[in-house]
């Protein structure tokens, strides 16, 4: 139990309990067949972090609000407990397991309430509770009642694990107070549940957590493989829950000290980061490669990344390098030219759109483009990587979406000119001013979710973008 206990050391205060007696981190997993295909074995796939949500009917205190919590990253020993819960409850493949690491504290002047809602049900199928620590406390009695009477009332001791059917009982845990041994006490539990409100809500597309959860996985691979040395996350969020999430240490699980969150001096001004790198140009070598990418990048062909960087260093005379982007009007045109879309689109269906074209505005067309890619990701990317002539020189002065581009350290000074409309300035103005063209490297495939106009297709994309490369 002492090994599970280590996971509770760094829990942060629950912002939704004003009295400050609760700490909570959460994580969700999807139960899925093991990748070795053995039908009798399952594994747990971590899901993108999403808030907790319960209806007001079940939780009069916190019902009806989305509560964002930092990610809980269980160690091997905690994971064994979670797997035991999966085994004991015999949940089916596809079920979602919600895991909450929770600490309730108390002092001589403040009691702690394990059940802020008192008697309640959780709107889930089954609940598992492992008592990890009881330290210097009295109280904390787990009680269950049927329609009229308390049927069980007992203190869960350290190491004890119970599983119950949420629909069959109402339950509560009585408040805790410090005992005679100290001036403060605590009760740590690992809570597990499946069904009902354990499930993630539909992705909240007004927020960026969903996108970033996916993007982080790709960035982590690139860092792990030594292809990317630093990741700077520029925090422009104005959403409180995204802010909590961004600071939650999501990337700590990779032990990636290369990830840093940078705070712009003003959140409304997109030129901040261009100005920052222009001002710090001396920190870069001439052949260093700086990539600017947006948080809506949801797929990167990591196998094609090294060649993209090598080619970027060779193409010294071109200003910016763009990859082969799924959902980009210019790239879609070249995808047709290169034969990627044959059999899916007529030759004239994807015209050369530099700005706000059909790929952005026509949801049906965009969805077809997605489905084409998703139906054969391996074929698409391997074809891209084997192109003999992958470089397309972009027409000078034409606009192109800047979801992802690479610039050499020697050229970073051009960023100083970017002060307002960055996409226009990066693609139209800079090329003309410096008489240098951008290029598209068709060998590296990435995909983006670009537009709120295509909300109907975005969810589909999020769920289907292959994660098999991880
Ligand atoms: Fe409960």
* SS3 labels along the chain: CHHHHHHHCCCCECCCCCCCCEEEEEEEEEEEECCCCCCCCEEEEECCCCCECCCCCCCCCCCCCCECCCECCCCHHHHHHHHHHHHHHCCCCCCEEEEEEEEEEEECCECECCCCCCCECCCCCEEEEEEEEEECEEECEEEEECCCCEEEEEECCCCCEEEEECCCCEEEECCEEECCCCCEEEEEEEEEEECHHHCCCCCCCCCCHHHHHHHHHHHHHHHHCCCCCCEEEECCCCCHHHHHHHCCCHHHHHCCCCEEEECCCCCCCCCHHHHHHHHCHHHCCCCCEEEEECCCEEEECHHHHHHHHHHHHHCCCCCEEEEEEECCHHHHHHHHHCCCCCCCCCCCCCCCCCCCCHHHHCHHHHHHHHHHHHHCHHHHHHHHHCCCCCEEECCCCCCCCCCEEEEEHHHHHHHHHCCCCHHHHHHHHHHHHHCCCCEEEEEEEEEECCCHHHHHHHHHHHHHCCCCCC
Q: List the chain domain ranges.
A: 2-198, 264-464
- Separation of CA 121 and ligand 1 centre (Å): 6
> What's the confidence (pLDDT) of residue 38?
63
> What's the confidence (pLDDT) of residue 362?
74
> What's the confidence (pLDDT) of residue 247?
72
- Separation of CA 230 and ligand 1 centre (Å): 42
- Separation of CA 206 and ligand 1 centre (Å): 29
- Separation of CA 244 and ligand 1 centre (Å): 24
- Separation of CA 338 and ligand 1 centre (Å): 57
pLDDT per residue rounded down to tens, the chain (470 residues): 889 999 999 999 988 888 999 999 999 998 987 766 665 678 898 887 777 877 666 677 776 667 878 899 999 999 999 999 999 999 988 889 999 999 999 999 999 999 998 999 888 899 999 999 999 999 999 999 987 889 899 999 999 999 999 988 899 999 999 998 889 999 999 999 998 888 876 544 455 666 776 777 788 778 878 899 988 888 888 777 777 767 765 554 444 567 788 888 887 788 889 999 999 999 899 999 999 998 888 889 999 999 999 999 999 999 999 999 998 889 999 999 999 999 999 988 888 888 767 777 777 787 788 888 878 888 999 999 999 999 999 999 999 989 899 999 999 999 999 998 899 999 999 999 999 999 999 999 998 875 433 443 333 333 333 322 22
> What's the confidence (pLDDT) of residue 368?
84
- Separation of CA 180 and ligand 1 centre (Å): 28
Tell me the pTM: 0.58
Fold of the domain built from segment(s) 2-198: Jelly Rolls (2.60.120)
- Separation of CA 115 and ligand 1 centre (Å): 7
> What's the confidence (pLDDT) of residue 205?
45
């Amino acid at each position: 139990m002492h090994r599970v206990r280590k996971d509770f050391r760094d829990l942060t205060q629950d912002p939704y309990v004003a009295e400050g007696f609760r700490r909570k981190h959460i994580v969700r997993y999807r139960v899925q067949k093991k990748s070795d295909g053995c039908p009798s074995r399952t594994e747990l796939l971590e899901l993108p972090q999403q808030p907790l949500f319960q209806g007001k009917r079940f939780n009069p205190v916190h019902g009806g609000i989305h509560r964002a919590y930092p990610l809980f990253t269980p160690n091997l020993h905690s994971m064994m407990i979670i797997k035991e819960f999966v085994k004991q409850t015999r949940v089916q493949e596809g079920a979602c397991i919600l895991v909450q690491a929770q600490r309730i504290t108390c002092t001589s002047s403040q009691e702690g309430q394990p059940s802020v809602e008192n008697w309640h049900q959780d709107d889930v199928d089954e609940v598992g509770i492992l008592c990890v620590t009881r330290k210097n406390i009295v109280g904390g009695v787990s009680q269950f009642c049927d329609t009229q009477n308390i049927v069980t009332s007992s203190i869960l001791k350290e190491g004890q694990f119970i599983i119950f059917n949420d629909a069959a009982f109402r339950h509560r845990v009585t408040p805790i107070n410090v005992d005679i041994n100290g001036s403060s006490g605590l009760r740590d539990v690992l809570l597990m549940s499946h069904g009902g409100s354990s499930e993630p809500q539909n992705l909240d597309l007004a927020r960026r957590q969903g996108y970033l959860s996916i993007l982080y996985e790709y960035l982590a691979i690139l860092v792990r493989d030594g292809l990317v040395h630093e990741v700077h996350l520029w925090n422009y969020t104005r959403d409180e829950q995204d802010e909590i999430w961004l600071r939650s240490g999501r990337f700590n699980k990779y032990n990636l000290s290369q990830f840093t969150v940078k705070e712009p001096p003003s959140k409304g001004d997109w030129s901040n980061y261009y100005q920052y790198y222009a001002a710090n140009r001396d920190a870069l070598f001439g052949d260093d490669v700086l990539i600017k990418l947006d948080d809506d990048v949801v797929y990167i062909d990591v196998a094609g990344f090294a060649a993209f960087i090598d080619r970027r260093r060779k193409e010294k005379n071109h200003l910016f390098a763009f990859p082969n982007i799924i959902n980009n009007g210019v790239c879609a045109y070249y995808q047709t030219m290169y034969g990627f879309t044959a059999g899916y689109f007529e030759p004239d269906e994807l015209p050369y759109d530099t700005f706000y074209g059909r790929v952005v505005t026509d949801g049906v067309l965009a969805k077809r483009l997605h489905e084409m890619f998703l139906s054969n990701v391996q074929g698409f990317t391997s074809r891209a990587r084997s192109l003999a002539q992958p470089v397309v020189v972009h027409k000078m002065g034409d606009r192109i979406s800047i979801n992802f581009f690479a610039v050499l350290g020697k050229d970073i000074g051009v960023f100083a000119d970017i002060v307002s409309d960055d996409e226009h300035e990066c693609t139209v103005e800079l090329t003309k001013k410096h008489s240098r063209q951008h290029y598209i490297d068709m060998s590296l495939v990435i995909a983006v979710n670009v537009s709120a106009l295509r909300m109907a297709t975005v969810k589909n994309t999020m769920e289907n973008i292959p994660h098999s490369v991880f």
